[in-house]
Structure 1
Amino acid sequence: MENRYLQHFLYPSSLYVSKEPYVIKTILGSCVAICIWDKKLKFGGMNHYMLPNWNGNELASPKYGNIAIDKLIERMFYYGSNRKDLVAKIFGGGELLEARTGNSMLIGERNIRVARLMLEERNIPIVASSTGGKRGRKILFFSDTGEVRHKFLEKKVY
């Protein structure tokens, strides 16, 4: 089934929305990806952010959750979505660096928290999630159906 779709690999600090049928793929560790799907217009998009909140320094980029989430929602509105038709799925936020550094600063947990908080504040229901833990994830989001397939990646010891 995956072969009949156009494909887009989503790199960290980016987002992608398409009204055309796409499979959007990404790999997550402590990063979080949010898939937003319009259940009425049958299209969606995904972001992939690395850190929870923009601190006002550097560029306000989708590297930060609070920027990436609003940019993804804005892009859905640009393509004609209404807030009441949107649903979200959240993935990632693992704590993979702990073994290497001894102190991961809980980036994954903070990334998950900002996703849940911002979606709740914007009245976009979270209909599925796979977050936290000690392993990475590979995510495939089918933009025309809202289906997400994910698998856990084996943890690598550094």
Structure 2
Amino acid sequence: MDRYYLYPGSIFASRKPHIVDTILGSCVAVALWDPVLEFGSINHYMLPYWNGEGTPSNKYGDIAIPAIINKMLAMGSHKSNLKAKVFGGCETGTPNGVFHIGERNIELAIEVLKKEQIPVLSHNVGGYRGRKVLFYSESGKVMIKYIKQSFPDQQIDPKG
């Protein structure tokens, strides 16, 4: 089986079986799988929303999720057959950070998939540890390995 490394801001879609691997921190990956046609796609986005400036890019979830849905449909899937899995979205940086990029990335994925009526079969999201994700595009199977803790035993001053 061919292997493919999925870089941040990228999408992967193929009818040919692949093992797709990626590393996620606050980024989120949405994997779609068609159990009837037995193939899948996956994205790796860094931020939830494109701000409308410059060129739309798959580094934004509101661009990347519709992009993999459209790829699946263009390759013969019926939307009613699609199943989703969602991964990543840990909080990085300081534990009391104000941006909560990981949390916002997760919320966007769930919101878009719900709106598109694509069921989320499983998810492994949030927390303070990054993940290495292996996606088997033919079976939809996903394996996850946690990577280093983002906040190694830090004490947080409650006064800020």
Structure 2: unaligned runs, 5 residues or longer: 153-160
Pairs within 5 Å for 1:7-86: 7-86=3-82
* Cα pair 1:17 1:76 within 8 Å, conserved: yes
Amino acid at match of 1:124: I
1:41-69 Cα shifts (integer Å, max 9, x gaps)? 00001000000011101211001000000
Structure 1 residue 13: Cα displacement: 0.3
Q: How far apart, in 2, do the equivalents of 1:135 and 1:104 lie?
A: 18
TM-score by length of 1: 0.93
Structure-1 residue corresponding to 2:155: none
Q: Sequence identity, in percent? A: 45
Q: Secondary structure at the match of 1:118?
A: helix
User: How many residues are matched?
Assistant: 152
Structure-2 residue corresponding to 1:124: 118
Structure 1: unaligned runs, 5 residues or longer: none
Amino acid at match of 1:112: I
* Cα pair 2:86 2:125 within 8 Å, conserved: yes
Structure 1 residue 17: Cα displacement: 0.6
* Cα pair 2:130 2:150 within 8 Å, conserved: no
In the TM superposition, structure 1's runs of 4+ consecutive aligned residues that sit over 6 Å from their partners are: none
Amino acid at match of 1:38: D
TM-score by length of 2: 0.92
